[in-house]
Amino acid sequence: MPSPLPESPRLAHDLGLGHRVVAGADEAGRGCLAGPIVAAAVCFDLASLDADGLRDIAALDDSKRLTARRRAQLAGVVMRRARQVVVVSASARAIDADGLHATNIRIMREAISAIAPAPDVALVDGFHLGDDAPPHRRVVKGDATSAAIAAASVIAKEARDRLMRGPAAMAYPEYGFDRHVGYITAAHTEAVRRLGPCPLHRRSFRSSAYGDDLTLFG
């Protein structure tokens, strides 16, 4: 007898939708001081997965709740088990030009639009992507609710972290991107104040973490 599937409310949610092909979309890097914002869309053909495949994706969780090592392992699981994975990013310059929220919505819409053929249902973490987007459902706290959105969360976070810890850190080693991947920390703030921003920094970034200095970049 095969072992039963582990309990997973996220997988149960997606199976309970009654659709064979389920896609999820999420982003990483929305709150960062430096680097791109990255969106991912992951599409599962749930009916094609055997017990081992379902057991693999039952382990998915919100990327923020996972260790870096576990997130990397689960990214590999997603790449093996998904029907399609799409990653779209937008640079700091695009964020500065168009605004963070508009850029976030655009790249999530692009990621969902790139799933082909279209899924039976597309789930998006937190946002409605507009009437010009493919049909989709907004799911509040989606990465804790849906396996497909959790998969997208893992892929977006892993893709962005690898970029920041690799090419970005090598190009601008003095900013410590290998440690904080562009999020605001005391060391990151100090480096920007001392050295000024590099091309990866978002000039439009504002945070109360700067205290009264909300115009750090002029």
The number of folded domains in the chain is 1
DSSP type of residue 129: -
**Whole-prediction pTM:** 0.92
Cβ atoms of 112 and 31 closer than 8 Å: no
The domain spanning residue 195 has which CATH number? 3.30.420.10
Question: How many Å apart are CA 164 and CA 180, to the nearest integer?
Answer: 9
pLDDT per residue of the chain (218 residues) written in tens, 0 to 9:
344 556 799 999 999 999 999 999 999 999 999 999 999 999 999 999 999 999 999 999 888 888 899 999 999 999 999 999 999 999 999 999 999 999 999 999 999 999 999 999 999 999 999 998 999 999 999 999 999 999 999 999 999 999 999 999 999 999 999 999 999 999 999 999 999 999 999 999 876 544 444 355 55
Domain membership flag for residue 83: yes
**Token pair in block for residue 197:** 């921003």
**Domain, as residue range, for 69:** 9-210
Domain membership flag for residue 194: yes
Question: What is each CA distance from 48 to 21, 44, 45, in whole angstroms?
Answer: 9, 9, 6
Residue 50 class from Cβ within 10 Å (0-12 exposed, 13-18 middle, 19+ buried)? exposed
